[in-house]
């Protein structure tokens, strides 16, 4: 199945946006740039028949937006609808190109980052910080499964704090390796056994490195596949 119909809708949408007044030039330029790129991508796209329903729904949304613009819908409402439709176009393109499975890679890296963050943060930053992030993590899990852009942003919020926790553990591990006996004795004095104290230093250091790696992977997969989210 050819995708020329959506390409034609995108082209008509670009023409109508150019005529719109009340949208900032910079914002309008971004919309037009995105639509031009999408037009080129959709123009030569060949789709399997099982995407017919999704394709028709996508084209229907575009025609509804065109009617709203031509019908004189308030420019503020139109300015909100345009980026939403562009996100639909990008997300559908990822589906049509068979890239939906990339979501699994992102979700796995997110789950690992969140789990390691919850496990290793309390030792240095107490229990308040991980408790604060319970809600964003929960909303991120729920939203990402629904491919919601807000869920994606919630899930990405764990990356910087994960990297912060990882850096703290790595720095602590490096310092402890340089003065191992003193650091072990400090843990023993706090009530831990000698064997457990030695293991904790190694576990914390390795855990910090692992957390840094998975957080970086989440960041990479997030930026690479952000167009999957609507």
**Residues 117 and 214 grouped into a single domain:** yes
**Residues 54 and 22 grouped into a single domain:** yes
Range of the domain at 38: 4-96
Last residue of a domain, one of 96, 118, 148: 96
110: number of Cβ within 10 Å: 27
pLDDT per residue as tens, the chain (230 positions): 555 789 999 999 999 999 888 888 899 999 999 999 999 999 888 888 889 899 999 999 999 999 998 888 778 888 899 999 999 999 999 999 999 999 999 999 999 999 999 999 998 999 999 999 999 999 999 999 999 999 999 999 999 999 999 999 999 999 998 888 888 888 888 787 888 888 888 999 999 999 999 999 999 999 999 999 99
**Residues 41 and 57 grouped into a single domain:** yes
pLDDT for the residue 1: 53
pLDDT for the residue 119: 95
pLDDT for the residue 11: 93
pLDDT for the residue 111: 97
The answer to whether 46 touches 2, Cβ cutoff 8 Å, is yes
Give the count of domains, the chain.
2
SS (H, E, C) the chain: CECHHHHHHHHHHHHHHHHCCCCCHHHHHHHHHHHHHHHHHHHCCECCHHHHHHHHHHHHHHHHHHHHHHCCCCHHHHHHHHHHHHHHHHHHHHHHCCCCCHHHHHHHHHHHHHHHHHHHCHHHHCCHHHHHCHHHHHHHHHHHHCCCHHHHHHHHCHHHHHHHHHHHHHHHHHHHHHCHHHHHHHHHHCCCCHHHHHHHHHHHHHHHHHHHHHHHHHHHHHHHCHHHCC
pTM: 0.88
pLDDT for the residue 108: 97
Last residue of a domain, one of 67, 96, 125: 96
Residues 6+ apart with CB under 8 A from 194: 184, 188
**Residues 43 and 130 grouped into a single domain:** no
**Residues 136 and 195 grouped into a single domain:** yes
**Residues 135 and 60 grouped into a single domain:** no
Last residue of a domain, one of 48, 71, 96: 96
């Amino acid at each position: 199945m050819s995708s020329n119909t959506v390409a034609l809708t995108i082209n008509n949408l670009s023409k109508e946006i150019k005529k719109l007044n009340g949208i900032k030039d910079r914002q309008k330029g971004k919309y037009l740039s995105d639509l031009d790129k999408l037009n080129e991508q959709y123009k030569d796209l060949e789709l399997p028949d099982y995407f017919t329903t999704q394709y028709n729904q996508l084209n229907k949304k575009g025609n509804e937006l065109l009617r709203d613009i031509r019908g004189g819908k308030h420019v503020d409402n139109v300015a909100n609808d345009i980026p939403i439709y562009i996100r639909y176009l990008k997300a559908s393109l990822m589906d049509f190109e068979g890239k939906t499975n990339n979501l699994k890679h992102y979700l796995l890296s997110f789950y690992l980052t969140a789990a390691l963050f919850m496990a290793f943060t309390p030792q240095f930053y107490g229990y308040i910080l991980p408790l604060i992030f319970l809600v964003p993590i929960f909303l991120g899990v729920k939203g990402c499964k629904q491919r919601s852009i807000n869920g994606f942003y919630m899930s990405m919020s764990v990356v910087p704090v994960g990297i912060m926790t990882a850096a703290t553990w790595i720095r602590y591990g490096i310092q402890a390796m340089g003065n191992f006996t003193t650091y072990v004795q400090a843990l023993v004095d706090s009530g831990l056994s000698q064997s457990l104290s030695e293991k904790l230093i190694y576990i914390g250091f390795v855990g910090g490195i692992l957390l840094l790696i998975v957080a970086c992977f989440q960041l990479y997969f997030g930026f690479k596949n952000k167009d999957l989210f609507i």
